[in-house]
Structure 1
Amino acid sequence: MTAPTTRTTRLDRGRWAQSGPETVRPGVHRIPLPLPEDGLRAVNVYALEGLTEGLVLIDGGWSIPESRKALEDALAELGHELGEISHILVTHIHRDHYTQAVELRRLLGSRVYLGAGERQGLELLGELRTDEPVSSLATLRRAGAQDLAERVAAMYDADFDVSVWEAPDRWLRAEELRFGNARLTVIPTPGHTQGHVVYLDQARGLLYSGDHVLPHITPSIGFELGDPALPLGDYLDSLQLMTRLTDARLLPAHGPVGDSVHARVGELLAHHDDRLAQTLVALGDRTRTAHEVAGELGWTRRKVAFADLGAFDQMLAVNETAAHLDVLVARGRAGRTEAGGVNRYAVAAG
Structure 2
Amino acid sequence: MTTIEVTGHRQREAWADKVLPPVEEVRPGLWSVPVPMGANPLRYVLIYVLALPDGIALIDTGWPSEESWQALVDGIRATGHDITDVRHVSITHLHPDHFGLVPRLLEHVDPVLVMHRNDARHLRHRDDAEIERQIEESRIELEALGAPDVIDNGFRHIARLPSGRVMDVELDHDQPLDLPGWNVRALWTPGHTAGHLCFVDEHAGVIFTGDHLLPRISPNVSTNAFQSQNPLAEYLVSLAHTERLPDLEALPSHEYRFRGLADRVSNLLDHHEERLGEIATAVAENPQSTAWEITRSVTWSRPFEQLSEDLARMAMRETHAHLVVLEERGVLTPSQGTPVRWSVSGPTPPLEASSTPIPTTCDRS
TM-score by length of 1: 0.85
Does structure 1 residue 37 correspond to structure 2 residue 34?
no
Partner Cα separation in structure 2 for residue 172 and residue 348 of structure 1? 40
Matches within 5 A, 1:20-35: 20-35=22-37
How many residue pairs end up in the alignment?
332
The whole-number CA distance in structure 1 between the counterparts of 2:132 and 2:100 is 14
SS at match of 1:152: coil
C-alpha distance in 2 between matches for 1:265 and 1:134: 36
Structure 1 Cα separation of the partners of residues 100 and 306 of structure 2: 32
**Letter aligned with residue 40 of structure 1:** L
Partner of 2:272: 272
Matches within 5 A, 1:113-132: 113-123=114-124, 125-126=126-127, 127-129=129-131
Sort the Cα spacing of 1:22 and 1:161 in 2 relative to 1 into closer, same or farther, 3 A. closer
Aligned Cα root-mean-square deviation (Å): 2.7
Q: Do the aligned residues in 1 keep the contact of 2:198 with 2:207 (CA within 8 Å)? A: yes
After TM superposition, the runs of 4+ consecutive aligned structure 1 residues lying more than 3 A away are 14-17, 127-139, 159-166, 222-225
Deviations 1:145-198 (A, max 9, x none): 2424xx324x655x9685559532211112112222311111111111111111
Structure 2: gaps (5+ residues): 1-11, 348-365
Higher strand proportion, which one?
1
Q: Which residue of 2 aligns with 1:152?
A: 152
- Contact kept? 2:190, 2:235, Cα under 8 Å: yes
Q: Structure 1 56/112 Cα, relative in aligned 2: closer, same or farther at 3 Å?
A: same
- Aligned partner of 2:60 in structure 1 is 59
SS in 1 for 2:234: helix
2: CA distance between counterparts of 1:146 and 1:77? Answer: 47
Q: Using the alignment, how far apart are the partners of 1:273 and 1:129 within structure 2?
A: 35
Provide the residue aligned with 1:173 in structure 2. Answer: 172
- Displacement of 1:75: 2.4
Residue 317, structure 1, aligned to residue 315, structure 2: yes
Shift of 1:117: 0.6
More helix, by proportion: 1
Cα offset for 1:80?
1.6
Q: Would you say the 8 A contact 2:215–2:258 is kept in 1?
A: yes
Q: Does the C-alpha gap of structure 1 residues 277 and 349 become closer, same or farther in structure 2, counting only changes over 3 Å?
A: closer
Deviation at 1:101, TM superposition (A): 2.5
* Residues 212-223 of structure 1 mapped to structure 2, 5 A cutoff: 212-222=212-222
1:101-250 aligned at under 5 Å gives the runs 101-123=102-124, 125-126=126-127, 127-129=129-131, 137-148=139-150, 151-153=151-153, 156=155, 162=160, 167-174=166-173, 175-222=175-222, 225-250=225-250
Q: Quickly say closer, same or farther: Cα 1:80–1:192, change in 2 above 3 A.
A: same
Give unmatched runs, 5+ long, in structure 1. Answer: 1-9
Residues 123 and 161 in structure 2, CA contact (< 8 A), matched pair in contact too: no
Query: Residue deviations 1:253-281, cap 9 Å, x none?
Result: 11111122222222211111111111111
The residue number in structure 2 matching 1:329 is 327
Q: Identify if the C-alpha distance between structure 1 residues 202 and 25 changes in structure 2 by more than 3 Å, giving closer, same or farther.
A: same
Q: Aligned partners of 1:279, 1:161: CA distance in 2, in Å? A: 33
Q: Is the 8 A contact 1:139 1:319 kept in 2?
A: no
CA-to-aligned-CA distance 1:3-27 (integer Å, 9 cap, x gap): xxxxxxx975345851531122222
TM, length-normalised to structure 2: 0.82
**AA partner of residue 192 (structure 2):** H
Q: Distance in 1 between matches of 2:141 and 2:72?
A: 37
Give the stretch that moved more between structures: 112-121 or 159-168: 159-168
